[in-house]
Amino acid sequence: MSARTTEAETCLVIEDSSFDREKFKRILNKSFSEIRVIMASTLAEAREYVSANRPDLILLDNSLPDGNGANFAVELSEDDTLRKIPVIMVSDFPTPFMYQKAAIAGVRHVVDKSDFGARFIHDALRPAKKTPSRSRTKRPA
């Protein structure tokens, strides 16, 4: 997926918070000239979608009502076709365990939700690194 592309690409947003889903959709629409944003609020919905479609990008929350996003990323990585889809994990509180699982799954980037914005998305979609990078999170002292 490249910024300001001319052909429509698809991003699957897997997030249980309607507020965050809409935030991600606004950021993606602002960052890309043509993009279809598909929403899933559970892993079950996401599995159903990816079984019939191949999104160009997946934004994946870690804490979902029916499971752990990091485990779903590992699931995707074990499928020859699905492992090619870039995954960006977003979380309110990224943990070392999540980074470890993300690295195993080949996740492109792990980011704190508060750091996810239009500027971030361009850097995050650069070619994959061996281990997921961590966003710089400024926390109050």
Q: Which two tokens stand for residue 39?
A: 């929403």
Render pLDDT for 109-118 as a digit per residue (tens, 0 to 9).
Answer: 898 888 888 7
pLDDT digits over 22-71, tens only?
Answer: 999 999 888 887 889 999 999 999 999 999 999 999 999 999 999 999 99
User: Up-side HSE of residue 134: CA atoms within 13 Å toward CB?
Assistant: 12
Tell me if 51 sits within 8 A of 79, measured CB to CB: no
Question: Does the domain made of 9-131 have the CATH classification 3.40.50.360?
Answer: no
From CA 71, how far away is CA 22, in angstroms rounded?
24
Partners of 37 in beta bridges: 11
Q: Count CB neighbours of 55 within 10 A.
A: 23
Record the pTM: 0.80
Radius of gyration of the chain (CA): 14
